[in-house]
Amino acid sequence: MTVPVLNATNVTKSLGGTPIIGGLTLSAEQGEFISVVGPSGCGKTTLLTCLSGLRNVDAGEVSFEGQKLDGPPDGMALIFQDYSRSLLPWRRNVDNVLFGMRRMTGVSAQEKRAKAMEMLAAVGLSKFETHFPWQVSGGMQQRVAIARALAARPHLLLLDEPLAAVDAQTRADIQDLLLSLARQFQKTCLLVTHDVDEAIYMADRVIVLSNRPTHVIADLQVPLPKPRDQIATRSEPEFLRLREKVLTLIRSMRTAA
Amino acid sequence: MRRLNVPAIVLGLLLLGAWELAARAGQNSFFPPFSTVLAALWANGGVIAAQIVDTLRRAAIGLAIAVAVMVPFGALIGRVRFLGDIFEPLVNMLRPIPPPAVAPIALLFAGTGDAGKIAMIVYTCAFPILIGAIDGVRANHPMLTNVGRSLRLSRLEIMAFIDLPAAMPIIMTGIRLAVAAALLVSVIAEMLLTTNGIGVYLLRSQENFRIADGLAGVVAIAVVGFLVNDLFLRLDRRLLAWHYATTGGAEGQG
Ligand SMILES: Nc1ncnc2c1ncn2[C@@H]1O[C@H](COP(=O)(O)OP(=O)(O)O)[C@@H](O)[C@H]1O
Ligand SMILES: [Mg+2]
């Protein structure tokens, strides 16, 4: 049995006296792409801050590569829901990517710069390295954030609804970009989203969360062929079956609440 | 380059014209016409310029010290709870004391030379800058700290590379208030702790009833003050281009 990349056991977390996470258990194996889907306000962002070490848990345990978390660990990168705030507007795109590598050791400044350019090229932004984030579109800003996250060569990528605020076409493009990058760089990914279709399209496994205090109510394998295709995958009978199942679960929670 | 602000120039010329006419009509030696003052400015230009250089030099040194000390200090007070608890009441108590009131203390500890005057300038500039820095870092979105923490930066790095730059728009407002105050207090300090500078020039002109010469000094200060303010305004637009672009204010790229 190999050690899971990420392991959360019976995690509980309250914010300002309100229980947000209530006994949540999940784990991610090396190379897996996991989607975590749950209704808005159920505690997805709170969960990610706990999984990334930004917040301590009240009870239970989170471990990363076998080590109990105590603050953000080396080897993990986080992509935030609000990209426009997560980039530093006073730094050019390439400098934002470089900023993600501040903690990288044993790499010269030239190598870092070369790596930053390489990552910007990988997300399709070679021509925009000297632009500032506010000079490019929202989708491009999220691409810069992705490049910054990947630049430090993390083993695990945590993504908090990264595409919630971009238009449909851009969303589809970045979904496919993320899938190909995850494959190319062999990343383990945990994507949080409230979009059921996105959750299934992206993942090897979909975890469905309950309302607050949130916990796992379903953990479903996604046996869809890869690479995924925006048109073919979404019309597979298996896709539609999973979609119906997840939507029914979420609908049942809404009536229960 | 910016466009010329024609209405403001017209207003300025009208006011100067009114001064000229009123003074000529009044024939009062305490109220010389603008043309006489201009002639005095021309005649005393060398002296005035030399004095203003001293005044500006002290203002610049005082401002620089205040920025270097108060920006990091304010960021610490704003970010570290217990430092805020200790220092904020003190800051609020000292803040309303007018600079001339500290002149005797400055005189006592720093003497009547440059040090005493610069101390008064530092004291005056300290508050707007300190308060700008405190408010600035507190206004930052908490998300920014999380970005730094998730990149495993130290608290000091987060402060230097995220908190302070993000707070710059508010800090800059404090600095620009301090710039105006620095010039003002530099002149006042000279009038109180007389040795040299444009303040002393003004005082001597008044004492000797050389009204036109004195007004020439005033005109020179006004022009210099305007230019200095304009310089900092441009600096602000340039350094904070990102801020004006993202908040939709003023010009876009600097
Ligand atoms: N500091 C806080 N104190 C109290 N409640 C909070 C705090 N932060 C977030 N919440 C609440 O916790 C719930 C979950 O928030 P969040 O994790 O952002 O949900 P999601 O990302 O799923 O939309 C929300 O209902 C929010 O109002
Ligand atoms: Mg959220």
Q: Give pLDDT, residue B198.
A: 87
pLDDT tens digit sequence for A159-198: 999 998 889 999 999 999 999 999 988 899 999 999 999 9
| A–B CB contacts, 8 A cutoff, strictly below | 54
In angstroms, rounded to a whole number, what is the distance separating the alpha carbons of residues A211 and A21? Answer: 9
Question: What's the rounded Cα separation, in Å, for the pair B95 and B74?
Answer: 14
Show residues of chain B in contact with A103, CB under 8 Å: 151-153
User: B246 and chain A: CB distance < 8 Å anywhere?
Assistant: yes
How many distinct structural domains can be found in chain B?
Answer: 1
Residue A256 has a pLDDT of 63
Kindly state whether residue B27 falls inside one of the protein's structural domains. Answer: no
Q: Tell me the average pLDDT of chain B.
A: 88
Q: How confident is the model at residue A6 (pLDDT cuts 50, 70, 90)?
A: very high
- Report CA torsion sign: A88, A94, A97, A98: negative
Torsion angle in degrees (nearest 10) through CA of B45, B46, B51, B55 = 70
Q: Find, among B171, B144, B168, B170, the residue nearest to B158 by Cα.
A: B144
Question: Which residue is associated with the tokens 């935030």?
Answer: A80
Which tokens sit at B131? 């308060």
- Structure confidence by residue, pLDDT tens digits, B135-180: 999 999 888 999 999 999 999 999 999 999 999 999 999 999 999 9
What does the alpha-carbon distance between residue A197 and residue A37 come to, in Å, rounded to a whole number?
10
Closest residue on chain B to A101 (Cα): B151
pLDDT tens for residues A74-113?
A: 999 999 988 878 999 999 999 999 999 998 888 899 999 9
Nearest Cα to B71, choosing from B163, B182, B145, B139? Answer: B163
Output the pLDDT for position B98.
Answer: 81
Q: What is the C-alpha to C-alpha distance for residues A239 and A255, in angstroms, rounded to an integer? A: 24
Output the CA A202–ligand 2 centroid distance in Å: 18
Residue B151: list chain A partners with CB under 8 A.
Answer: 72, 99-100, 102-103, 152
CA B70 to chain centre: 15
Alpha-carbon distance B225 to B186, whole Å? 12
The Å distance, Cα B155 to ligand 1 centre, comes to 25
pLDDT confidence of B253, banded at 50, 70, 90? very low
Going by C-beta distance under 8 Å and a sequence separation of 6 or more, which residues neighbour residue A93? Answer: A120, A125, A128, A129, A130, A131, A132, A133, A136, A144
A146 vs A131: CA distance, rounded Å? 16
| For B239, nearest residue in chain A (alpha carbons) | A90
pLDDT in tens, B21-54: 998 888 888 888 999 889 988 988 888 899 899 9
Report CB contact under 8 Å: B245, A102.
no
- Residue B64 pLDDT greater than 90, yes or no: yes
pLDDT at B56: 93
Closest CA to A101 of B145, B166, B152, B155: B152
Cα–Cα distance between B175 and A67 in angstroms, integer? Answer: 47
Whole-angstrom CA distances from A106 to A102, A180, B11, B111 are 11, 28, 63, 53
For tokens 């030379």, the residue is B113
Name chain A contacts of B141, Cβ cutoff 8 Å: 85
Going from the N-terminus, what domains does chain A have, and what CATH number goes with each? Answer: 1-72+194-257 (3.40.50.300)
- Single-letter amino acid, residue A126: S
CA of B92 to the centre of ligand 2 (A): 39
Residues of chain B with C-beta less than 8 angstroms from the C-beta of A135:
245, 253
Residue carrying structure tokens 């303040």: B199
- With an 8 Å Cβ cutoff, are B149 and A71 in contact? yes
Give the range of the structural domain holding residue B186, as residue numbers without chain letter: 49-212
Of B201, B188, B142, B184, which Cα lies nearest the Cα of B166? B142
Q: How many other C-beta atoms can be found within 10 angstroms of the C-beta atom of residue B253? A: 12
Residue B108 touches chain A, beta carbons under 8 Å: no
The reply to whether B201 falls in a domain is: yes
Q: Do A82 and B143 touch (CB under 8 A)?
A: yes
Label the pairing between strands A156-160 and A188-193.
parallel
Provide the ipTM: 0.90
Ligand 2 being an ion, which residues bring their Cβ within 5 A of it? A 44-45
User: Is B125 within the bounds of a domain?
Assistant: yes
Q: Which of A13, A15, A79 to mutate to test the pocket of ligand 1 (most atoms within 8 A of CB)?
A: A15
Using an 8 Å CB-CB cutoff, list chain A residues near B253: 135
Amino acid B13 reads L
Ligand 1 atom nearest to CA at A42: 22
- With CB atoms and an 8 Å threshold, state whether A135 touches B245: yes
Examine residue B236 and state whether it is found in any structural domain, yes or no.
no
Question: What is the rounded CA–CA span in Å between residue A82 and residue B229?
Answer: 37
Confidence of residue B189 (pLDDT cuts 50, 70, 90): confident
Q: Is residue B254 part of a domain?
A: no
In this structure, the number of other CB atoms found within 10 A of the CB of residue A124 comes to: 14
Rounded to an integer, what distance in angstroms lies between the CA atom of residue B65 and that of residue B123?
Answer: 10
CA B211/CA B32 separation, integer angstroms:
7
The mean-pLDDT minimum among A84-93, A201-210, B102-111, B140-149 falls in: B102-111
Could you say which residues from 65 to 94 on chain A have a Cβ atom under 8 Å away from some Cβ of chain B? 71-74, 76-78, 80, 82, 84-86, 88-90
B226, part of any domain: no
Q: What distance in Å separates the CA atoms of residue B83 and residue B76, rounded to the nearest whole number?
A: 7
Query: Tell me, what CATH number does B121's domain have?
Result: 1.10.3720.10
pLDDT digits (tens, 9 = 90+) for A45-74: 999 999 999 999 999 999 999 999 999 999
Quote the pLDDT of residue B250.
47
Q: How confident is the model at residue A185, as a pLDDT? A: 87
* Residue at B181 is within a domain: yes
Inform me whether the C-beta atom of residue B151 falls under 8 Å from chain A C-beta atoms: yes
- Cβ of residue A40 lying under 6 Å from some atom of ligand 1: yes
| Per-residue confidence band for A1, with pLDDT thresholds at 50, 70 and 90 | low
What is the per-residue burial (b if ≥16 Cβ within 10 Å, else e) of A128-155?
bbeebbbbbeebbbbbbbbbbbbbbebb
Contact (CB, 8 A) for B136 and B169: yes
Which of B149, B153, B157 lies nearest to residue A54, judging by beta carbons?
B149
Q: What is the rounded average pLDDT for all residues in chain A?
A: 93
User: Does residue B237 belong to any structural domain of this protein?
Assistant: no
